[in-house]
Structure 1
Amino acid sequence: METGGGAGLEEATKREREWQDAAEAVAYDSCTWPPPVVAVCGPGNSGKSAFSRLMLNTLIARYKKVGYLDIDVGQPEFTPPGFVSLHVFEENAKDLKIVYLRNPKRCFFFGDVCAKRNPKLLLTYIFCLYDYFLKELYCFGEVDNPSNSAIPLVINTSGWVKGTGLHVLTEMLKYVSPTHVIRVSTTVECKNVPGGIFWINENEGDSSVNLVEIRAAQNPPPSIKVKKEARIIRDLRLIAYFRQCLPSDFPVSCFDDLVQGFVSIRPFKLPLSKIHVIDLHCQVSLSNVDVQCFSNGTIVGMATSASPPLLTECSTPCCIGLGFIKAINVSEDHIHFITPVSQKLMEKVDTLFLSSIALPSCLLQVCDTLTEITDMLREL
């Protein structure tokens, strides 16, 4: 038993060293200019996100500022699920064991945790954010001015590497043409990303990309366990996001405390007549709001049509945050939201994005509790 444990520790140490060597090779063995654009690819639960953070922190040590493009709508690193986001870091990303949410530089709300229903829209968002990065953050006109010079980019991709997932990954790599692609592979070869420069056709010529192969942190467990863990992580991220609605010193020792805290929150009221609704999945824009689109507990993305589109290639406005519907009052022409978005920004909101993202059960209890209270008051 001791021998096996020692062998396991030794193997883990070797892989940790292998990862560190790979990250440092990208950051330090490459030329300073231009900074690297690194795409990290691999199947789910292979340690892809962990390596992306290591790569991010290693690049920060050299470049002081690093971009991070997260295209994994199911398991994003720094936002709630359903987002494609671009971040700029000037400090190390926190430990993976911590749910670390941060405001992105720019983001789009996809409204689902899987690309399958609308891969074309997802790719539009990815391309738009990357083009914005090139225009605003990958500039080469001020080489002598570190504060305004080009910065490196890390791209965290989805762990879905088959079927539609592979199609999205392939199209992204073709469009971005990264300087480095990290292939995180497990011992189960059929689950891995294809080998070689699979996104480049033979007739398209050679690519100057550096392909780096590293071993996965661990072999993936059975798919049912992976899916269950993914749902739990998504719920935790949503809870952490909406937890921002409560005071930072609000005591939460159990889910009941959380529910009571949310019940006590005074919701933001948005006029129904003011709202423009976009169904991202069906690519339908609803000019007249049908309250049947909504129900208590529905998660929606929020935006303002007054803000100009990020680029002319994408007319969808950037998302400013999420809210979930606490109640609908048709007679008073209001939808009541719980959201951590500031009141100043909420006063400008006139666009809602429908989503298929499920609200965690503990937050859904908030709406059920309020319904019970409302019914009791009516009977008095």
Structure 2
Amino acid sequence: MPEKSKKEMKREARTLLRAHLNRDDRCWLMKNFSPLCSVVMLENLKNATVNFITSHPGLSYVFEQERTTFQINAEYFALRSVGIKKEKKKNGLQLSESFLSALEELVSVACEEVDGCPIILVCGCQDVGKSTFNRYLINQLLNSISCVDYLECDLGQTEFTPPGCISLLNITEPLLGPPFTHQRTPQKMVYFGKSTCKNNYENYIEIIKYVFSSYKRESPLIINTMGWVTDQGLLLLVDLIRLLSPSHVVQFSSSRSRVMPQLTPTYVDDMDGLYTKSKAKVRDRGFYLPEFADSLEFGDEEKESPVAFSGHKLMCVQLDFFFRKTPRNRELHNRVLRDLALLGYLGQLQAPAPRPLRPLHSLTPYQVPFHAVALRVIHSDVAPTHVLYAVNASWVGLCKILDDVGGYTEGPVLLTQTPICDCLGFGICRGIDMEKRLYHILTPVPPEELRNVNCLLVGAISIPQCVLKSQHGFEGTIPYVTTDYNVKLPGATGKIGAREAEETYRKRQHPKARFYRKAH
């Protein structure tokens, strides 16, 4: 294809700008335009999700800027109007040579792969830049290919869904913000129900196998893993590498993180995982994995031979950058991010901007008969007589199980085991009508999808406290909010929905950013 002339490029740029700039601004911009420059259009982020998040007291600071130490001039106000400010170099994102080298190689491999799509597993301790790298890599890949697949295995800091999920997504648009600004509907999702897999490792592995089986190998796959890489967390990571058979493992480290062994193919081959045993390499055939042979799909001619995976290429990335998280405030910071992800999801209930926001208590919920859905409280033993107490005012996964729940005249229909099943979305059980035997569910899941829901899963992911305590337009006693919660009730272990005592809640309130001061 012949290169465009300077005149053609100017004409194309002018056409694109017409919808966004007035005539004088376009003329000024085109005078400074050259064929080698890039034009970045920035607009204030004003949508229903952002408006919904900032409507809650204590969260408006999320989109505020700290007071600048640079000179305040016309440039400062122009940049501030679209959320940009100058920053000291030490506070900015500094990409190391190993970061850029790994990025360049992976993009090249993804664009030139002829025998299949690369599977890229990203691992490392907490706060070493895994999520930043994933976003950067996705955006770089989308410059050259139409889509990228993404497998989320980090339960606590999910990128595209509310926390507590393992999901597979097909990404076609660049990522330009934190997770709560780009909540999306996955191709496949299972609700694990907790922000950590501790004490339930086997179920975690089984769910990943189930979700991974939907990967079609038509696009490059990026796998995000947990930041827990010590002790049993490291053994789980070894299991995942054997199970998912990545072509590339990108291992992050920093001067602040704990030293972890390099996950070379030899190390993984010789190391026992939690559920897989070390195997000697089969010459020219890779890893022999009978443990997972039944979970993967192969052609008839492949089923006759043992399941074998080839080794991966290890890419080590050293990254050090300035951030405000410390071991003392990390958990609080992560909880705030999880709450923001939940609020970002609930923001889908709002009408598109600029229509006014409506508080959640003013929205009409769906009525779901007891007998239409099965019910299960996961990660906690709840007496059958107290199950409805656990479900009421809880965050629920709207799931689809293969079993037929019909035939029950009244309900509730209780499951004795937690199923591994597709999760179609989430909602809030905002009330239970015992007389009419109905659940009242508030959810943004469209009606055509809700018809497939026949199971409600209640986990340990809590509704953000600000949703219960800070809704506009509500008068009188706030329902479901009390300090008089008896954790000694039979079956009420204190872990249902991660309900905490009032003194614990005080520690969890969203703190105002220390660095932000209101300008006079």
- What's the TM-score bracket when you normalise by the shorter of the two chains? 0.7 to 0.9
Query: Whose Rg is larger?
Result: 2
Shift of 1:119: 1.5
Q: State the Cα distance separating 1:107 from its structure 2 match.
A: 0.7
CA–CA distance in structure 2, aligned partners of residues 374 and 159 of structure 1: 37
Whichever residue aligns with residue 333 of structure 2, its letter is E
Q: Does the Cα contact within 8 Å between 1:183 and 1:212 map onto a contact in 2? A: yes
Alignment of structure 1 residues 209-358 onto 2, 5 Å? 209-218=312-321, 221-249=325-353, 261-281=359-379, 290-296=387-393, 298-305=394-401, 316-358=420-462
Q: CA deviation at 1:102?
A: 0.9
TM-score of the two chains, using structure 2 as the length reference: 0.59
Give the TM-score normalised by the residue count of structure 1: 0.79
1:158 paired residue among 226, 237, 242: 226
**In 1, Cα distance between equivalents of 2:453 and 2:389:** 20
- In 2: Cα distance, 1:98 partner to 1:74 partner: 13
Instruction: Tell me the residue number matched to 1:24.
Output: 104
What does the per-residue CA deviation read over 1:110-146, in whole Å, with 9 as the maximum and x for residues that have no partner?
111111131111111111222221xxx21xxxxxxxx
Q: Where does residue 280 of structure 2 map in the other structure?
A: 204
Gaps of 5+ in 1: 139-149, 309-313, 376-380
Q: Distance in 2 between matches of 1:246 and 1:97?
A: 18
Amino acid in structure 2 at the alignment position of 1:68:
Y
**1:47-69 deviation per Cα after TM superposition (whole angstroms, max 9, x unaligned):** 10110112222233333222110
Q: In the TM superposition, what are the counterparts of 1:68-87 in structure 2 within 5 Å?
A: 68-87=150-169
Q: How far apart in 2 are the matches of 1:13 and 1:289? A: 52
Q: Following TM superposition, by how much is the alpha carbon of 1:295 offset from its aligned partner in structure 2, in angstroms?
A: 2.7
The one-character-per-residue Cα deviations of 1:244-279 (angstroms, maximum 9, x if unpaired) are: 111122667xxxx7xx61111011111123221133
Greater mean deviation of Cα atoms: 19-28 or 235-244: 19-28
Kindly tell me: are residues 71 and 264 of structure 1, through their superposed partners in 2, closer, same or farther at Cα, counting changes over 3 Å? same
> Structure 1 residues 208, 294: CA separation in 2 closer, same or farther (over 3 Å shift)?
closer
Q: 1:289 to 1:224 in 2, by over 3 A?
A: same
Equivalent position of 1:42 in the other structure:
124
One-letter identity of the residue aligned with 1:89: I
SS of 2:316's partner is strand
Judging changes above 3 Å, is the alpha-carbon distance between structure 1 residues 66 and 284 closer, same or farther for their aligned structure 2 residues?
Answer: farther
| Structure 1 residues 29 and 104: alpha-carbon distance in aligned structure 2, compared to 1, 3 A threshold | closer
Letter in 2 for 1:38: I
Contact 1:185 1:192 in 2 (8 A): yes
Contact between 1:326 and 1:338, CA under 8 Å: does it hold in 2? Answer: yes
Name whichever structure is richer in helix by fraction: 1
Cα 1:119–1:283 shift into 2, 3 Å: farther
- Gaps of at least 5 residues in structure 2 are 1-86, 272-278, 287-309, 405-417, 481-520
Distance 1:364 1:266 in 2: 17
Residue identity matched to 2:319: A
CA–CA separation in structure 2 for the residues paired with 1:39 and 1:373? 46
- Counterpart in 1 of 2:484? none
Matched residue SS, 1:19: helix
Contact 2:128 2:319 in 1 (8 A): yes
* Alignment check: 8 A CA contact 2:94 2:321 kept: no
**Corresponding residue SS for 2:211:** helix
CA distance in structure 1 between the partners assigned to 2:476 and 2:454 by the alignment = 26
CA deviation digits over 1:150-177, x for unaligned, max 9? 3211001111222343232221111112
Residue type of the alignment partner of 1:204: A
* Deviations, residues 198-249 of structure 1 (Å, cap 9, x unaligned): 4321752376311111123437742221111100000001011011111122
Q: How do residues 114-129 of structure 1 correspond to structure 2 at under 5 angstroms? A: 114-129=196-211
Do the aligned partners of 2:153 and 2:225 also contact (CA within 8 Å) in 1? yes
Distance across 1 between alignment mates of 2:170 and 2:155: 18
The 1-side partners of 2:379 and 2:280 are apart by: 33
Shift of 1:85: 0.6
Q: Aligned residue for 2:241?
A: 173
Structure 1 pair 361–7 and aligned structure 2 pair: CA distance change class (3 A):
closer
Question: 2: distance between equivalents of 1:162 and 1:283?
Answer: 29
Q: What is the distance in 2 between the residues matched to 1:215 and 1:285?
A: 50
State the shift of 1:285 in Å: 12
Does the residue aligned with 2:367 lie in a helix, a strand or coil? Answer: strand
Go from structure 1 to structure 2 and tell me whether the alpha carbon gap of 1:217 and 1:238 turns closer, same or farther (over 3 Å shift): farther
CA–CA separation in structure 2 for the residues paired with 1:188 and 1:322: 37
